[in-house]
């Protein structure tokens, strides 16, 4: 492993987390993939081990560790070969909980962040809408102030943990006449009257309970506003850098898993009297695949280092998310091909891996949107700055 970024403590954590996943997660993966849901007990086990609080403040029950522990967390989650399970874990820890920590007040951190770190509460982040997709500023969900409450109406879609979460971090328009400046962020309890969720049937990420969520006159206390009213859009944007880096790290990790699997397979599979790893055409294909993975992985590590040092890496994370997810799709496609007919069989891991990987260029900002964001920064000299 790269000692430029990882210490002995990091590697010790990697080995212990690997062992935990093999013992507590891998035996259940096929069931969760079939059922389309992750059983509740595993959330508590993750919480007990501190895995949800790696980077969270110690005063709220977290461990206060650097971001390379998160890199290890993400990489090893990809190695269990269930993009849906991995997404359920990191969407809770790094999408919902990030807003709780950054915008939540003391009450919200006590009532939601600490139980989330402990694995007692599961969260989801509700931004995308049926008619909006990547157009965050064009969202139609509203939150109307009424006395000491807000009344939320609208719908969200493609929400990871959207069925079984205990609370929802919801973006809504508090001033529909404004676009970017009219949005706010709220914490909403799942059992609040007026909330309904419909599970979505997906190509991949089968273990994840992705949902469309409707809000019909959902009344919440005004104190459930997170941060300042009207600051929702910049809050969301400043966290996209982390989300896109997460998607990029996931991509290089699953591509690395595919290469490792192919290397093992080729060393054992025989054809025409010799193992597949002796055929030049196949050897050269694997060399190309491994080179692509290494290039993206090293770039992602360098971005992580800068983010850990306090640099706002929205351009770099957007670039890497765009390139790494494309790379993963290409590498996994080629890996499946190298297995021949067996690659197409569900009993081998690459069929699921191919399906799960395809979400990479779509979720967390489509590659098409990212290209325009990058173009604005390098051509139009647009600067994106964090709010806090």
pLDDT of res. 386: 79
**What's phi and psi for 259, nearest 5 deg?**
-65, -45
pLDDT of res. 312: 92
Question: Domains, the chain, ranges and CATH?
Answer: 8-122 (1.10.540.10), 125-230 (2.40.110.10), 233-378 (1.20.140.10)
Instruction: Cite the active site residues.
Output: 243
Q: DSSP assignment of 213-275, as one string?
A: EEEEEEEEEGGGEESSTT-HHHHHHHHHHHHHHHHHHHHHHHHHHHHHHHHHHHHH-EETTEE
Q: Given its phi and psi angles, is residue 119 left (phi above 0), alpha (psi -120 to 50 degrees) or beta? A: left
How big is the CA angle at 82 (ends 80 and 88), to the nearest 5 degrees? 110
What spatial distance separates the first Cα and last Cα of the chain, rounded to whole Å? 34
Could you tell me which of 360, 306, 281, 277 has the C-alpha nearest to residue 86? 360
Where does residue 13 rank: exposed (0-12), middle (13-18), buried (19+ CB within 10 A)? buried
How far is Cα 113 from Cα 107, in angstroms, rounded to an integer?
9
Task: Centre a 10 Å sphere on the Cβ of residue 166 and count the other Cβ atoms it contains.
Answer: 17
- Residue pointed to by tokens 């995308």: 128
Tens digits of residue pLDDT in 22-55: 999 999 999 999 999 999 999 999 999 999 999 9
How far is Cα 236 from Cα 38, in angstroms, rounded to an integer?
27
- Residue pointed to by tokens 């508090």: 174
Tens digits of residue pLDDT in 4-26: 999 999 999 999 999 999 999 99
Q: Is the dihedral of CA 86, 87, 89, 93 positive or negative?
A: positive
Tokens of 158: 């493609």
CB-CB contact of 234 with 282 (8 Å):
no
How far is Cα 385 from Cα 79, in angstroms, rounded to an integer?
34
- Residue pointed to by tokens 């212990």: 16
pLDDT of res. 1: 55
Q: Going from the first residue of the chain to its last (388 residues), give the mean pLDDT of each consecutive group of 10, the final group possibly shorter.
A: 86 98 98 96 97 96 97 98 97 96 97 98 96 78 96 97 97 89 95 98 96 98 97 90 96 98 97 95 98 98 96 95 99 98 97 98 94 96 82
Where does residue 192 rank: exposed (0-12), middle (13-18), buried (19+ CB within 10 A)? middle
CB-CB contact of 212 with 197 (8 Å):
yes
């Amino acid at each position: 492993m790269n000692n430029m970024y990882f210490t002995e403590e990091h590697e010790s954590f990697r080995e212990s987390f690997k062992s935990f996943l093999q013992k507590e997660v891998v035996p259940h993966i096929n069931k969760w993939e079939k059922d389309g849901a992750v059983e509740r007990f595993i959330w508590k086990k993750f919480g007990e081990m501190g895995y949800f609080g790696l980077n969270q403040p110690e005063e709220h029950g977290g461990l206060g560790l650097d971001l390379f522990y998160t890199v290890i967390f993400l990489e090893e989650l990809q190695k269990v070969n269930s993009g849906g399970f991995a997404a359920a874990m990191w969407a809770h820890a790094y999408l919902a909980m990030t807003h709780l920590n950054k915008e939540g007040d003391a009450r919200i951190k006590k009532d939601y962040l600490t139980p989330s770190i402990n694995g007692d509460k599961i969260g989801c982040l509700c931004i995308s809408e049926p008619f909006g997709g990547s157009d965050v500023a064009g969202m139609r969900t509203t939150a109307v102030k009424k006395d000491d409450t807000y009344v939320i109406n609208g719908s969200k879609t493609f929400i990871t943990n959207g069925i079984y979460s205990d609370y929802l971090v919801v973006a809504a328009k508090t001033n529909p006449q404004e676009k970017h400046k009219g949005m706010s962020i709220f914490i909403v309890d799942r059992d609040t009257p007026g909330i309904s969720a419909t599970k979505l049937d997906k190509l991949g990420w089968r273990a994840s309970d992705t949902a469309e969520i409707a809000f019909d006159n959902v009344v919440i206390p005004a104190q459930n506003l997170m941060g300042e009213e009207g600051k929702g859009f910049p809050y969301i944007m400043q966290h996209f850098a982390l989300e896109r880096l997460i998607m990029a790290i996931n991509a290089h990790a699953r591509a690395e898993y595919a290469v490792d699997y192919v290397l093992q397979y080729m060393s054992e599979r025989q054809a025409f009297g010799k193992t597949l790893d002796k055929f030049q055409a196949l050897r050269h294909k694997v060399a190309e695949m491994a080179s692509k993975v290494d290039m993206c992985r090293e770039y992602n590590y360098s971005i992580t280092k800068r983010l850990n040092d306090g640099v706002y890496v929205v351009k770099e994370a957007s670039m890497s998310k765009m390139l790494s997810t494309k790379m993963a799709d290409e590498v996994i496609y080629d890996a499946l091909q190298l297995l021949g007919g067996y690659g197409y069989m569900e009993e081998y891991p690459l069929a699921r891996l191919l399906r799960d990987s395809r979400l990479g260029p779509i979720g967390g900002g489509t590659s098409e949107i990212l290209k325009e964001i990058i173009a604005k920064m390098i051509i139009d000299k647009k600067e994106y700055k964090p709010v806090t």
